[in-house]
Structure 1
Amino acid sequence: MRSLTLFLVVALTPFAVAQTNQFLPAQPDSSTSLPDAPSADAPTTIFPHPERLPYLIAGQANIVFQAHGPFHSPYDGPNSLQDRGEYKTSLVGTLFLGLQLHRNPRYATDVIADFESAGGRGISQALGLAGFTNLDVVRNPNLGSKPYLARIQIHQVIGLPGNLVETDRTPYSLSTQLPERRFELHVGKMSLPDYFDVNSIGSDSHLQFLNWTVDNNGAWDYAADTRGYTYGAVLEYRDRSWSARYALAAMPTVANGIDLDWAFSRASGQNFEFELRRSLLGHLAAPERKGTLRVLSFVNHAHMGLYRDAVNAFLSGQDPKPNIAEHAKFGSVKYGFAINAEQEITSNLRTFLRVGWNEGQHESFAYTEVDQTVAFGGDYSGRAFSRPNDKIGLAFVSNAIKRDHQNYLHYGGLGFLLGDGNLNYAREDILESYYNLHAWRGVFYALNLQFIDHPGYNKDRGPVLVEAVRMHVDF
């Protein structure tokens, strides 16, 4: 912990410096997340994207180089972070395509199709850390970089009487005006974090933080294949200052699997989130300082096993080592809850908080091996020093697992990410900082540092410092 404290002091230094009447005019929307304010005369895409067109053609590329030096490790296992120095590079490219079938904002219809390629590898093949250091890395590196269809969906707006409000055009919603009170339906192939647990400070690994458990709530075991996508439906109701959304999505057939189980009667992920958009500081903050609070719950039904069953079978001599896959049962239920908050402090400083918990008895199945998590941090805009599209960020996350999960790893069991062959348990603590620099139009460069104490929850190993350089291009 002494080394963690020293790194915290170093990382903090730059941070401290650093409706009923369709003829009513459109009003500014109460955004789902706290808005950035890029300079009007500094384009942030290579090519212009006129909003008057009924279609969207855009793209992005993200290259991340990561490395770490040797660290203390008296032993390791098949799923350990390698204790010798190593470096790896990942590359993700995405082509976003969208077409507006109906442009009337009160019943707008979009067709969305995104193609993606994920190449390169993560350090230690993306193993050995619950809070892995690069969200771009596919958890099964053997899939290769062959392009695949990441998203294909229909987006339907059902407007209610009232004002029209200005909205930002995104790859998932092409309208620039929508009813203030409305339903929105997305059906098809998707990534659930596109709609749930969104946080404007800690959700974008291409321009913000890189760590899995900073950009998403680590305890939210959301339905997804190993690339992070699933098929399902999201229904959202949006009002002036609050929203509610529900999703039903397909679960993988096995933990971290690429194939989905299409029998929704026996396997599915259900998610519900309530969002309140108002300042969390009340009268302590200026009226224009926006805040958002989100409360998320999830219930997964899948072919999962219990850690305790696997450990008992090993201790009784039934299994030569703990293997949770041998004890999976259809109809198993895993559930959890999460809180996600963000708040503007000044015109340049924003903060966020995430807290997550799941029952932890059933195996980690789709996202990462976290049963409890607490993450907090913030970012500071370069507007303060005449760099409006630059950003400094700092975040701390502490992840934990329950006793049965600890015992499973202690006796030599392997999860889909973790397994040192032994475990002297401690919380996995991660401190991450970055500086993101806007170089020209849609080109950004970033320097990133992550300090990890007790990698893979193991007090016997680490700490480790992971350095990264990122290049991001928005076309």
Structure 2
Amino acid sequence: MIRRLLLSAPLLLALTAHAEDDERWNLHGQFTVVAQRHGSFTSPYEGSNSLKASEGTKTTMDATAYIGVKLWPGGELYLNPEFDRGFGLSDTLGAAGFPSGEAYKVGHHSAYGKLQRAFLRQVFALGEAAGEAQPSAANQLAGTRPADNVTLTVGKFSVVDVFDTNAYAHDPRADFLNWAVIDAGAFDYAADSWGYSQGAAAEWNQGDWSGRLGLFALSREPNSTRLDSSFAQHQWVAEAEHRHQLGGRPGKLRVLVFSSRARMGRYDDAVAAGMPVDTGNVRRMTGKQGWSINAEQELAEHVGAFARYSRNDGRTEAFDFTDINRSLSLGLSVNGAAWAQPGHTLGVALAVNSLSAPAQRYFAAGGLGILIGDGRLNRYASEQIAEAYYAMRLAPGVTAALDLQRLQHPAYNAERGPVTVLGARLHAEF
């Protein structure tokens, strides 16, 4: 399949409408394969949501088409049909900071198709500031975009397409893989089991500042394949961004807050209700709030750094992302031009995830979360993750990467692990 994709790349490129001055439509695509395995590790016991102490290599594959059409001045429609196949390690269970951002919470042995994104984008110019030329890319038509603008996005897309972005750690097809590195771990963002939601986002860009506000549908129930399209269960997200220069080097600082309202179970209520301990038995309409700080900074030519800190109130179960109440991640990204290989990238990162006191009591009593639950939690410890990857360009639009992760105390369990995860990724795009 990979060989066929590479051989067909010239034909696919020919299909793309590249009128760089003002593109009326375009077609781009991508194909990614990730394979991961881990060695054996200390595991005196396992629960239904545990990372298995022994298993074979797990592989995921996805192929996406990015179709863009200009409808009217400033108005664009984007559709992203996708085929997916495969499973993450232990069926995407066993670690709050899961090792592969390419592994969905839904796995399948054969390829299946979904329309992952279908959204309308409208850009309104503010003032007479000179426009910025943008190239043809996935979900981006080539043309001139006003530097100061208000952008509205409505439809089906991912919350983290717009919020919590970072130039060095955000794309599992191009940089890091671990969930707690590519996103703010405690940002329990609205999403179905594939990571997408329905909603709307408004973005204001002027000078060195941006402001964003979004309303999104949560799942019908935690970690569901179906969204609550009535928006009875919903999430508000707001983010402020400032672009700056430090020592003549560009950087960005983002501050995000979110507020969710849904039928969620409180950890302490589930424990008080008695055995078996299950938040599903005590769900009621309630709220959940959290925030994050997200920074990226160029340190030197070819070298960039990033850091995120996120936190949520920790009273209720994780709803749509993962079982993290506090998270800190930081790292470096070095472009291979530093050693005469401009198509290469080296990245290193650390992440530390923590649970609130109510969540600790819940998992100690045998409760299960979205991704974790060993059946007990005798000795709690923060989940600590180290990740390094090396990506290299094989041909125009084709990269391969090797990834190494070390998970200390997976699922916050000091009696299990540590786990070493080896990974390989092949990515092609046009």
TM over 0.5: yes
Residue 263 and residue 463 in structure 1: after superposition, are their counterparts in 2 closer, same or farther (change >3 A)?
Answer: same
Amino acid of the residue matched to residue 193 of structure 1? V
RCO greater where, 1 or 2, for CA within 8 Å and sep 6 or more? 1
* Structure 2: distance between partners of 1:165 and 1:391: 31
C-alpha deviations, 1:406-442, integer Å up to 9, x for none? 1111111111211101112100000000000001011
| Equivalent of residue 368 in structure 1, options 322, 326, 330 | 322
Report if aligned partners of 1:112, 1:171 keep a CA contact under 8 Å in 2.
no
Report if aligned partners of 1:44, 1:441 keep a CA contact under 8 Å in 2.
no
Q: What are the residue-to-residue correspondences of 1:204-215 with 2, within 5 Å?
A: 204-215=171-182
Runs of at least 5 residues in structure 2 that lack an aligned partner in the other structure: 1-8
| Equivalent of residue 298 in structure 1, options 258, 262, 282 | 258
Report if aligned partners of 2:86, 2:108 keep a CA contact under 8 Å in 1.
no
* Partner SS state of residue 13, structure 2: coil
* Partner SS state of residue 422, structure 1: coil
2:170 pairs with 1:203: yes
2:430 pairs with 1:464: no
| Equivalent of residue 399 in structure 2, options 437, 440, 444 | 444
* Structure 1: distance between partners of 2:57 and 2:323: 23
Report if aligned partners of 1:168, 1:176 keep a CA contact under 8 Å in 2.
yes
* Structure 1: distance between partners of 2:62 and 2:288: 31
**Aligned match of 1:34:** none
The offset of 1:209, in angstroms, is 0.3
The root-mean-square deviation of aligned C-alpha atoms, in Å, is 1.7
2:300 pairs with 1:346: yes
* Structure 1: distance between partners of 2:313 and 2:56: 35
Report if aligned partners of 2:125, 2:148 keep a CA contact under 8 Å in 1.
yes
**Aligned match of 1:267:** 233
**Aligned match of 2:386:** 431
Q: What are the residue-to-residue correspondences of 1:51-450 with 2, within 5 Å?
A: 51-52=20-21, 53-102=23-72, 104=73, 108-141=74-107, 145-169=111-135, 170-264=137-231, 266-279=232-245, 281=246, 285=247, 287=248, 289-314=249-274, 320-330=275-285, 332-423=286-377, 424-450=379-405
The offset of 1:177, in angstroms, is 1.4
The offset of 1:176, in angstroms, is 2.9
* Structure 1: distance between partners of 2:406 and 2:108: 28
Report if aligned partners of 1:374, 1:397 keep a CA contact under 8 Å in 2.
yes
* Structure 1: distance between partners of 2:140 and 2:150: 13
TM-score normalised to structure 2 length: 0.94
Amino acid of the residue matched to residue 382 of structure 2? R
Q: What are the residue-to-residue correspondences of 1:4-19 with 2, within 5 Å?
A: none
Report if aligned partners of 2:86, 2:109 keep a CA contact under 8 Å in 1.
no
* Partner SS state of residue 375, structure 2: coil
Amino acid of the residue matched to residue 193 of structure 2? T
* Structure 2: distance between partners of 1:117 and 1:214: 25
Matched-pair identity in %: 36
* Structure 1: distance between partners of 2:287 and 2:120: 29
Amino acid of the residue matched to residue 166 of structure 1? E
Q: Which moved more, 1:43-52 or 1:248-257?
A: 43-52
Residue 356 and residue 167 in structure 1: after superposition, are their counterparts in 2 closer, same or farther (change >3 A)?
Answer: farther
Amino acid of the residue matched to residue 55 of structure 1? W
* Structure 2: distance between partners of 1:121 and 1:131: 16
Amino acid of the residue matched to residue 320 of structure 2? A
Amino acid of the residue matched to residue 65 of structure 1? A
* Partner SS state of residue 181, structure 2: helix
* Partner SS state of residue 308, structure 1: helix
* Structure 2: distance between partners of 1:325 and 1:273: 31
The offset of 1:144, in angstroms, is 6.0
* Structure 1: distance between partners of 2:36 and 2:229: 37
* Structure 2: distance between partners of 1:258 and 1:206: 23
C-alpha deviations, 1:308-337, integer Å up to 9, x for none? 0000111xxxxx31010011012x101100
Report if aligned partners of 1:46, 1:442 keep a CA contact under 8 Å in 2.
no
* Structure 2: distance between partners of 1:132 and 1:368: 9
Amino acid of the residue matched to residue 267 of structure 2? Y
* Partner SS state of residue 456, structure 1: helix
* Structure 1: distance between partners of 2:357 and 2:366: 15
The offset of 1:47, in angstroms, is 2.8
Amino acid of the residue matched to residue 387 of structure 1? Q
Q: Which moved more, 1:177-186 or 1:166-175?
A: 166-175
Residue 359 and residue 174 in structure 1: after superposition, are their counterparts in 2 closer, same or farther (change >3 A)?
Answer: same
Report if aligned partners of 1:205, 1:215 keep a CA contact under 8 Å in 2.
yes
* Structure 2: distance between partners of 1:89 and 1:44: 27
Report if aligned partners of 1:306, 1:324 keep a CA contact under 8 Å in 2.
yes
* Partner SS state of residue 57, structure 2: strand
* Structure 2: distance between partners of 1:134 and 1:420: 20
Report if aligned partners of 1:164, 1:177 keep a CA contact under 8 Å in 2.
no
Amino acid of the residue matched to residue 204 of structure 1? D
